[in-house]
Amino acid sequence: MKIVRIAFFSLLAMVVVPTALLVGLANRGAQPIPTVESGDDASWDAGYRAMRDGDHETAYEFLRRVPREHPEYARAMRYCGWNVLSNRLDRPKDAVAFVHESVRTDPFDENVWEDLLRVYVRSALPFVDV
């Protein structure tokens, strides 16, 4: 039983320590979400359309203005963080706050956790293609 306990805690340490280092590196220099005037329900539609059409600067401007009460708010923050800032505009440090907001808003969506990990990796290890 003692060997099982030692093996379990050794494996746990091998997961926890690198994860803590990755999170620490990813959050170093991360900025909070910039304060902007909240948009209306059309912000989601315009931002999603711009992202789909490849106009990422416009998508960023609209998606970050989606109001908290909007049903797609968590998705807008996730798209703004991973799809637009980190993946297309190559600004992963700016993306961290947006994916954090997405996780806070909808923690039961597995996509937010996947994008959070992707942004952390891009922030901490910019030379790694995720």
Q: For 113-127, what is each residue's pLDDT tens digit?
A: 999 888 888 888 776
**Eight-state DSSP code of residue 78:** H
CATH 1.20.120.1200 for the 2-124 domain, yes or no: no
- pLDDT digits 0-9 by tens, 19-45: 555 555 555 555 556 556 667 778 999
Please report the pLDDT score of residue 125 as a whole number: 78
Q: Cβ(85)–Cβ(56) under 8 Å?
A: no
Which segments of the chain does DSSP mark as H helices, in order? 2-27, 42-52, 56-63, 73-78, 92-105, 110-124
